[in-house]
Amino acid sequence: MIPCQTGVEHSENLYRLLVESVVDYAIYMVGLDGRVATWNPGAARIKGYAAEEVIGQPFAMFFTEEDRRLGRPEQALAAARKHGRFESEGWRVRKDGSLFWALAVVDAVYGEGGDVIGFAKITRDMTERYAAQQTLVESERRFRLLVQGVTDYAIFMLDRKGHIVNWNSGAQRIKGYRSEEIIGQHFSRFYTDDDKTAGGPKRALAEAERNGRFEAEGWRVRKDGSLFWANVIIDAIREEDGNLVGFAKITRDLTERRESQRALEEMRAQLAQAQKLEALGQLTGGVAHDFNNVLQVILAGLAVAEKLPSNSSSLAPMFAEMRMAATRANDLTKRLLAFSRRAPLRPEVADISKVIRDAAGMIGRTLNASISLDLQIEEDVSPVRIDTSDFEIALLNLAVNARDAMPQGGTLRIGARNVELRGKPDGLVGPFVAVSVRDTGVGIPEEVLSRIFEPFFTTKPLGKGTGLGLSQVHGFAQQAGGAVTVSSEADKGTEFTLWLRASSAAEYALERRAADQGLSQAGALAKPLCVLVVDDDPGVSRLTVGMLEAEGHRVVAVTDPRVALERLDSGESFDLILSDVIMPGGMNGVDLAREIRRRWADLPILLVTGFAEDSDAILQEFPMLHKPFTTIELTQTIKSLFGM
C-alpha cells in the first residue's frame, strides 16, 4: 500500500524528478560551508564525477588552480549571499583534468526565516559556443589585420549617408589623411570640384544602393590637393533582412599605369608616323616621276593652247588630257596625305579587289625593273571592313621587303581569295579574305622568323630600314580584327598572308549607295548665295570665285582674314564664309572662323585646306573641305551646311 503524500511532499518529489532528469545542466546544492550537498545526472555528465565521489567535497574543486588562488569560489558565494544571485563565465575543471568553458549561476537559497541556508548552482558547458566565438573573434582580428596591412588599396567603410566610418593604412598612404583626421568626414572631399558640382558622389552612392555595386575611374584629390587617377569600387552592405547598413569603398591609385598607357600610346603613334615616313621615302622616286609626267602634260598643253585660236577644235581634247593629268595628281596627293598625316582609323567596307588593283600602280613604282608584279585575284572576292590607307601601307611595306629580298630580280605575286577559317590562325572562325604577298627571293632565316614583327627589328644593313614595316603590317591586321602569318623557305621565297574578316555584299552595297546618293544630290542650290572667299593665293582665289560664280552665286574675295572681319564689321551681309586654313601673318583661317563664330554665331563657315596636320582636330569645330576639290564636291559640301 502506497503511503499517502501531502501536497508539499508531492511537489518536492516532482521537483526532484525534474532536476534528476536534466542532463544538459549541472544542477546541485552547495552548503554555507561551500561543500556539495546534492548532485544531478547533468552534473555527473558535464563534470565527470559520480554523486558519491563529490557530495561533501568543496565546490572549489571545479575551479582552476589560478581561480582558487585568487579566491574566486569564495567571491562567487559571497556575491550570491549579498545580492541573491551571481553569474559568470570561465574555465572549469572536469574529473579527468580537462577544461571546459562554463556559464555558471549561483542563487542564494533562503530558509523560512529569510536566512540564507545554502546555494543552488547551475552550470552549463559552453565550450563549443565559446570556441565558435573565439574563432569568429580571431577571424575578425585577422581580417582587421589584413585590411590594415593592405597599402596598395584604400579600403574603408561609409555610413548610409557617405560619412567615413573606418580607415586603413592603404587609404592613409594613397589619400594622405590619418584616421583621426578623416573619420566622420564625408567621402565627397576626395572628389574634384567639377565632379562634386556634377553630383558625382551622390550618384555613386545611389547606384551602389540600387544595383549593389558601383565602379568607375576618374581623378581624385589627395590631402595636399594633388590629383591621382583612381579606380573606385563601392559595394552596398546590407543586414540579413536587407536593410542598408552602409558601403564598402575600395580605391586604387592607377596614376602610374595610366601615364604608362599614355606613354605607350604616344610611342605607338610615333612608331606609326615613323613607319609612314619610311614608306613615303620608298615612294619618293616613283612619285616624283609621276608628278613630272603630270606637270609635263599640263605645261605642254598650256603652251600649245596659248598659240591656238579660241575656236580651235584641238582645245577640247587638249583640255581633257590636262584634266585627266590633274585628276591623277589629285589622287596621288590625297594618297600621300593619307599616308603621312596623323589620323585615326577610318574603317569602311571596301572592295578589296579594287583597292589592291589601285594600290598596284603605286607598288609598282617601288620595284626594280627586274621584278615583275603579278596580280592573282579570284573572282567575287568578298568586301572587307578596313582602313584602306593602312591596308595600302601594309601592302607597300610587304612589297618593299619583297623587293629587297630579290636583288637579282624575280616575281612579286599579290593574291586575294575567299576562305572559311575554323580556328586557325589565331582562333579565327568564319568567312575571311586571304590577301597574300609572295616573292621569289632569298627567304627569311628560320632563327629570325619569330622576331620579324617586333618594332625596330631588322636584318637589313644599317641605314637600309627602320624595322617598322612588318610591325605596321602586324598592327594593321590586329586592328582590322584579323591576323597575319608568314611562311618562308631559303632560296625559294617568302609568303605573307593577311587574314581579313569578310563583310557581306549587302553591307558594301549599302555604303556605296549612301555615297552615290550623296554625289547625286550635289546639284545646284535652291537659291544663289552671297559668299565671302578668304584666300591668300590669288590664283586659287580666282578659280574658287569662278567655280562659285559658275553656279550662280555672288562672290566677294579678300586675301587677308583681317580684311574679312572689316567687311563684316561694316555691315555687309554674307550667307557663307569660305576661308583657306593656312595663311601667312598672325591670323589663319581657324582663328578667323573662331572669331566669326564668337561675334556672328549664326553665320556658316567652311574651311578649305591643301594640308593641315591637325585637320582632325579642326573638324571637331568646323566643317572642312580638302583641296583640290571639284565643283560637285564644293556644291555638295555647301548643301550639307545648309541642310539640303
Domain of 23: which CATH number?
3.30.450.20
CATH code for the domain in which residue 411 is found: 3.30.565.10
Does 6 fall in a domain?
no
Whole-angstrom distance, CA of residue 336 vs CA of residue 162: 57
Tell me the CB-side half-sphere exposure of residue 109, using CA atoms within 13 A: 14
526 with 510, same domain?
no
DSSP-derived secondary structure letter, 256:
H
The predicted pLDDT at position 8 comes to 44
The predicted pLDDT at position 307 comes to 75
φ, ψ dihedrals at 230, nearest 5°: -120, 145
Does 140 fall in a domain?
no
Whole-angstrom distance, CA of residue 358 vs CA of residue 350: 12
Helices (H) and strands (E) in the chain, counts: 21, 20
The predicted pLDDT at position 426 comes to 81
The predicted pLDDT at position 344 comes to 47
SS3 340: helix
Residue type, 403: R
Does 195 fall in a domain?
yes
Q: What is the DSSP string of 378-417?
A: -TTPPPEEE-HHHHHHHHHHHHHHHHHT-TT-EEEEEEEE
221 with 313, same domain?
no
The predicted pLDDT at position 581 comes to 87
**Do 202 and 173 form a contact (C-beta atoms < 8 A)?**
no
Whole-angstrom distance, CA of residue 155 vs CA of residue 32: 58
| Per-residue CA distances from 65 to 80, 112, 178 (Å) | 22, 36, 46
Whole-angstrom distance, CA of residue 406 vs CA of residue 368: 9
431 with 568, same domain?
no
The predicted pLDDT at position 614 comes to 61
501 with 358, same domain?
yes
Does 136 fall in a domain?
no
Does 122 fall in a domain?
yes
The predicted pLDDT at position 514 comes to 53
**Do 376 and 409 form a contact (C-beta atoms < 8 A)?**
no
Last residue of a domain, one of 325, 343, 361: 343
pTM over 0.85: no
Domain that holds residue 22: 14-126
The predicted pLDDT at position 622 comes to 87
SS3 291: helix
205 with 114, same domain?
no
Does 415 fall in a domain?
yes
Sign of the Cα pseudo-torsion (315, 316, 322, 323, in order): positive
238 with 302, same domain?
no
Tally of structural domains, the chain: 5
pLDDT along the chain (644 residues), means of 10: 47 52 78 91 90 93 94 93 91 93 91 88 87 70 61 84 88 88 91 90 92 90 91 89 88 84 71 59 56 68 75 76 69 57 63 87 78 89 84 83 87 92 86 92 80 63 52 78 87 90 71 53 66 87 84 90 92 91 83 92 87 66 80 81 73
374 with 507, same domain?
yes
Last residue of a domain, one of 464, 499, 519: 519
- Neighbour-count burial of 512, counting CB atoms closer than 10 A to its CB (0-12 exposed, 13-18 middle, 19+ buried): middle
Distance of CA 210 to the CA centre of its chain: 24
SS3 559: coil
56 with 68, same domain?
yes
110 with 162, same domain?
no
Nearest to 599 by CA among 566, 551, 637, 640: 566
Whole-angstrom distance, CA of residue 638 vs CA of residue 644: 9
The predicted pLDDT at position 448 comes to 75
CATH code for the domain in which residue 597 is found: 3.40.50.2300
Does 225 fall in a domain?
yes
**Do 186 and 163 form a contact (C-beta atoms < 8 A)?**
yes
Last residue of a domain, one of 496, 519, 542: 519
352 with 467, same domain?
yes
Nearest to 110 by CA among 148, 81, 133, 72: 81
The predicted pLDDT at position 347 comes to 74
Does 450 fall in a domain?
yes
CATH code for the domain in which residue 284 is found: 1.10.287
Please give the grid coordinates belonging to residue 321.
588630257
The predicted pLDDT at position 510 comes to 62
Please give the grid coordinates belonging to residue 211.
544595383
409 with 507, same domain?
yes
32 with 98, same domain?
yes
